[in-house]
Structure 1
Amino acid sequence: MRKAIPALILVCLILSACGQTRTFEGALFRTDTDKSAFGVDCSDEINKGKVNVDDVGYVCTVKTDGKTRLKDAEGRSLKPEDFSSGDLVRVMLSRAQTITESNRSFQAKEIVLLEAK
Protein backbone atom coordinates (compact mmCIF):
# COMPACT_ATOMS: atom_id res chain seq x y z
CA MET A 1 0.00 0.00 0.00
CA ARG A 2 2.84 2.40 0.85
CA LYS A 3 4.31 1.95 -2.62
CA ALA A 4 1.02 2.91 -4.26
CA ILE A 5 0.83 6.30 -2.54
CA PRO A 6 3.80 7.91 -4.38
CA ALA A 7 2.47 6.56 -7.69
CA LEU A 8 -0.97 8.00 -6.93
CA ILE A 9 0.54 11.37 -6.05
CA LEU A 10 2.52 11.38 -9.30
CA VAL A 11 -0.59 10.63 -11.36
CA CYS A 12 -2.48 13.43 -9.60
CA LEU A 13 0.31 15.91 -10.32
CA ILE A 14 0.40 14.96 -13.98
CA LEU A 15 -3.37 15.27 -14.33
CA SER A 16 -3.45 18.62 -12.57
CA ALA A 17 -0.89 19.98 -15.06
CA CYS A 18 -3.13 19.03 -17.98
CA GLY A 19 -5.06 21.98 -19.29
CA GLN A 20 -2.45 24.46 -18.16
CA THR A 21 -0.79 26.73 -20.67
CA ARG A 22 2.86 27.66 -20.71
CA THR A 23 2.99 29.34 -24.14
CA PHE A 24 0.40 30.87 -26.46
CA GLU A 25 0.30 33.06 -29.56
CA GLY A 26 -1.98 35.95 -30.35
CA ALA A 27 -2.34 39.41 -31.82
CA LEU A 28 -1.11 42.33 -29.74
CA PHE A 29 -3.94 44.74 -28.92
CA ARG A 30 -2.18 47.29 -26.74
CA THR A 31 0.73 48.13 -24.51
CA ASP A 32 0.22 50.01 -21.26
CA THR A 33 1.50 53.56 -21.22
CA ASP A 34 4.23 52.64 -18.74
CA LYS A 35 5.18 49.63 -20.94
CA SER A 36 4.74 47.19 -18.02
CA ALA A 37 2.00 45.09 -19.67
CA PHE A 38 0.73 43.99 -23.06
CA GLY A 39 -2.84 43.15 -24.07
CA VAL A 40 -2.73 39.98 -26.16
CA ASP A 41 -5.60 38.12 -27.85
CA CYS A 42 -5.95 34.83 -25.96
CA SER A 43 -9.33 33.77 -27.40
CA ASP A 44 -7.93 30.57 -28.92
CA GLU A 45 -6.57 29.43 -25.54
CA ILE A 46 -9.81 30.16 -23.71
CA ASN A 47 -11.93 28.47 -26.39
CA LYS A 48 -9.59 25.48 -26.89
CA GLY A 49 -11.59 22.26 -26.93
CA LYS A 50 -14.98 23.99 -26.83
CA VAL A 51 -17.68 23.47 -29.44
CA ASN A 52 -20.32 25.99 -30.57
CA VAL A 53 -18.20 28.91 -29.38
CA ASP A 54 -19.68 32.41 -29.54
CA ASP A 55 -17.67 35.00 -31.45
CA VAL A 56 -16.42 36.61 -28.27
CA GLY A 57 -12.83 37.81 -28.21
CA TYR A 58 -10.71 37.72 -25.06
CA VAL A 59 -7.68 39.84 -24.30
CA CYS A 60 -5.18 38.68 -21.68
CA THR A 61 -3.06 41.12 -19.72
CA VAL A 62 0.54 39.97 -20.01
CA LYS A 63 2.69 41.70 -17.40
CA THR A 64 6.40 42.35 -17.90
CA ASP A 65 9.22 43.21 -15.55
CA GLY A 66 13.00 43.51 -15.65
CA LYS A 67 13.35 39.74 -16.05
CA THR A 68 10.99 39.45 -19.04
CA ARG A 69 12.87 38.82 -22.30
CA LEU A 70 11.56 40.70 -25.32
CA LYS A 71 12.91 39.52 -28.66
CA ASP A 72 12.16 38.93 -32.32
CA ALA A 73 11.84 35.55 -34.04
CA GLU A 74 15.60 35.52 -34.75
CA GLY A 75 16.41 36.02 -31.06
CA ARG A 76 17.47 39.68 -31.21
CA SER A 77 16.58 41.74 -28.14
CA LEU A 78 13.74 44.23 -28.45
CA LYS A 79 12.30 47.03 -26.35
CA PRO A 80 8.60 47.45 -25.46
CA GLU A 81 8.31 50.30 -27.96
CA ASP A 82 9.33 47.90 -30.77
CA PHE A 83 5.91 46.23 -30.44
CA SER A 84 2.79 47.65 -32.12
CA SER A 85 -0.91 46.93 -32.11
CA GLY A 86 -1.69 44.11 -34.54
CA ASP A 87 1.70 42.37 -34.21
CA LEU A 88 1.63 38.59 -33.82
CA VAL A 89 3.46 37.54 -30.65
CA ARG A 90 4.29 34.36 -28.76
CA VAL A 91 4.02 34.65 -24.99
CA MET A 92 5.84 32.33 -22.61
CA LEU A 93 4.39 32.59 -19.14
CA SER A 94 6.54 32.59 -16.00
CA ARG A 95 4.68 29.49 -14.88
CA ALA A 96 2.08 27.24 -16.48
CA GLN A 97 -1.45 28.41 -15.74
CA THR A 98 -5.00 27.72 -16.76
CA ILE A 99 -6.29 30.51 -18.98
CA THR A 100 -10.03 31.06 -18.57
CA GLU A 101 -12.60 33.80 -19.06
CA SER A 102 -12.06 34.87 -15.45
CA ASN A 103 -8.28 34.23 -15.25
CA ARG A 104 -6.61 36.37 -17.92
CA SER A 105 -3.74 38.20 -16.24
CA PHE A 106 -0.25 36.69 -16.20
CA GLN A 107 3.42 37.41 -15.71
CA ALA A 108 5.49 36.81 -18.87
CA LYS A 109 8.89 35.18 -18.92
CA GLU A 110 9.36 35.95 -22.62
CA ILE A 111 7.53 37.71 -25.44
CA VAL A 112 8.60 37.01 -29.02
CA LEU A 113 7.59 39.22 -31.95
CA LEU A 114 6.67 36.70 -34.66
CA GLU A 115 5.21 39.03 -37.27
CA ALA A 116 5.13 42.81 -37.26
CA LYS A 117 2.12 44.64 -38.70
Structure 2
Amino acid sequence: MIRTVVFVLVSLLLTGCTGTKSFEGTLYSIGENYFVVDCSHEVKKRKNNVEDISYPCTVRITNQTKFSDEDGNKLSVDDFTAEVTVKVILATPQTMSQSKESRDIEAREIILLNR
Protein backbone atom coordinates (compact mmCIF):
# COMPACT_ATOMS: atom_id res chain seq x y z
CA MET A 1 0.00 0.00 0.00
CA ILE A 2 2.73 2.49 0.96
CA ARG A 3 4.71 1.58 -2.13
CA THR A 4 1.69 2.35 -4.32
CA VAL A 5 1.15 5.74 -2.67
CA VAL A 6 4.82 6.65 -3.10
CA PHE A 7 4.70 5.58 -6.77
CA VAL A 8 1.62 7.73 -7.43
CA LEU A 9 3.15 10.78 -5.72
CA VAL A 10 6.43 10.48 -7.62
CA SER A 11 4.51 10.07 -10.90
CA LEU A 12 2.47 13.19 -10.21
CA LEU A 13 5.59 15.21 -9.41
CA LEU A 14 7.35 14.09 -12.58
CA THR A 15 4.30 14.83 -14.70
CA GLY A 16 4.10 18.37 -13.30
CA CYS A 17 7.72 19.07 -14.25
CA THR A 18 7.41 18.20 -17.93
CA GLY A 19 5.74 21.35 -19.27
CA THR A 20 7.18 23.51 -22.01
CA LYS A 21 9.60 26.18 -20.78
CA SER A 22 10.13 27.91 -24.13
CA PHE A 23 9.27 27.61 -27.80
CA GLU A 24 9.99 29.29 -31.12
CA GLY A 25 7.43 30.39 -33.67
CA THR A 26 6.27 33.00 -36.13
CA LEU A 27 4.72 36.14 -34.66
CA TYR A 28 1.26 36.35 -36.25
CA SER A 29 -0.05 39.56 -34.69
CA ILE A 30 0.45 42.08 -31.92
CA GLY A 31 -2.31 43.21 -29.55
CA GLU A 32 -2.54 45.64 -26.64
CA ASN A 33 -0.96 43.33 -24.03
CA TYR A 34 -0.30 40.17 -26.01
CA PHE A 35 1.34 38.59 -29.03
CA VAL A 36 -0.22 35.80 -31.09
CA VAL A 37 2.56 33.33 -31.91
CA ASP A 38 2.49 30.04 -33.83
CA CYS A 39 3.06 27.24 -31.29
CA SER A 40 2.03 24.36 -33.56
CA HIS A 41 5.28 22.47 -33.09
CA GLU A 42 4.82 22.38 -29.31
CA VAL A 43 1.20 21.21 -29.58
CA LYS A 44 1.97 18.54 -32.18
CA LYS A 45 5.07 17.09 -30.51
CA ARG A 46 2.87 15.55 -27.80
CA LYS A 47 0.42 13.91 -30.21
CA ASN A 48 0.61 11.33 -32.96
CA ASN A 49 -1.44 11.73 -36.14
CA VAL A 50 -2.34 15.37 -35.46
CA GLU A 51 -3.90 17.17 -38.39
CA ASP A 52 -1.64 19.56 -40.27
CA ILE A 53 -3.26 22.72 -38.94
CA SER A 54 -1.82 25.75 -37.22
CA TYR A 55 -2.14 26.30 -33.49
CA PRO A 56 -1.72 29.92 -32.33
CA CYS A 57 -0.77 30.77 -28.75
CA THR A 58 -1.90 33.96 -27.06
CA VAL A 59 1.27 35.13 -25.31
CA ARG A 60 0.37 37.57 -22.55
CA ILE A 61 2.80 40.44 -21.95
CA THR A 62 3.16 41.89 -18.45
CA ASN A 63 5.27 44.67 -16.92
CA GLN A 64 7.85 41.99 -16.09
CA THR A 65 8.16 40.66 -19.65
CA LYS A 66 11.60 41.36 -21.12
CA PHE A 67 12.28 41.90 -24.81
CA SER A 68 15.66 41.26 -26.45
CA ASP A 69 17.40 40.12 -29.61
CA GLU A 70 19.54 37.01 -30.07
CA ASP A 71 22.62 38.88 -28.81
CA GLY A 72 20.91 39.90 -25.56
CA ASN A 73 20.41 43.55 -26.55
CA LYS A 74 17.33 45.08 -24.93
CA LEU A 75 14.41 45.80 -27.22
CA SER A 76 10.94 47.21 -26.78
CA VAL A 77 7.60 45.84 -27.94
CA ASP A 78 7.79 48.34 -30.84
CA ASP A 79 10.80 46.47 -32.28
CA PHE A 80 8.59 43.46 -33.06
CA THR A 81 6.49 43.13 -36.23
CA ALA A 82 4.31 40.41 -37.69
CA GLU A 83 6.01 37.56 -39.53
CA VAL A 84 9.28 37.63 -37.55
CA THR A 85 10.45 34.54 -35.69
CA VAL A 86 10.55 34.78 -31.91
CA LYS A 87 11.54 32.62 -28.99
CA VAL A 88 9.09 32.80 -26.11
CA ILE A 89 10.35 31.94 -22.62
CA LEU A 90 7.38 31.20 -20.40
CA ALA A 91 6.86 32.66 -16.92
CA THR A 92 6.05 29.11 -15.72
CA PRO A 93 6.33 25.80 -17.61
CA GLN A 94 3.06 24.76 -19.23
CA THR A 95 1.72 21.86 -21.22
CA MET A 96 0.27 23.16 -24.48
CA SER A 97 -2.36 21.14 -26.29
CA GLN A 98 -5.08 21.54 -28.88
CA SER A 99 -7.32 23.21 -26.29
CA LYS A 100 -7.39 26.98 -26.60
CA GLU A 101 -7.12 27.43 -22.81
CA SER A 102 -3.79 25.59 -22.68
CA ARG A 103 -2.42 27.97 -25.30
CA ASP A 104 -3.10 31.13 -23.29
CA ILE A 105 0.31 31.66 -21.73
CA GLU A 106 2.41 34.34 -20.03
CA ALA A 107 5.85 35.32 -21.29
CA ARG A 108 8.82 36.03 -19.04
CA GLU A 109 10.93 36.98 -22.06
CA ILE A 110 10.46 37.30 -25.82
CA ILE A 111 13.55 37.12 -28.01
CA LEU A 112 13.60 38.40 -31.59
CA LEU A 113 15.37 35.75 -33.71
CA ASN A 114 15.41 37.55 -37.06
CA ARG A 115 14.94 41.07 -38.38
Q: 2:13 corresponds to which letter in structure 1?
A: L
**Partner Cα distance (1:72, 1:56) in 2:** 29
Please, which runs of 5 or more residues in structure 2 have no aligned partner? Answer: none
Unpaired runs of at least 5, structure 1: none
Identity across matched positions, percent: 35
Residue of structure 2 aligned with 1:50, choices 44, 47, 60: 47
1:17 is the counterpart of 2:17: yes
Query: Which structure shows the bigger proportion of residues in helix conformation?
Result: 2
Where do 1:30-49 residues align within 5 Å? 30-32=29-31, 34=32, 36-49=33-46
Q: Aligned-pair distance for 1:25?
A: 0.5
TM-score (norm 2): 0.86
1:15-94 correspondence to structure 2 within 5 Å? 15-18=15-18, 20-32=19-31, 34=32, 36-94=33-91
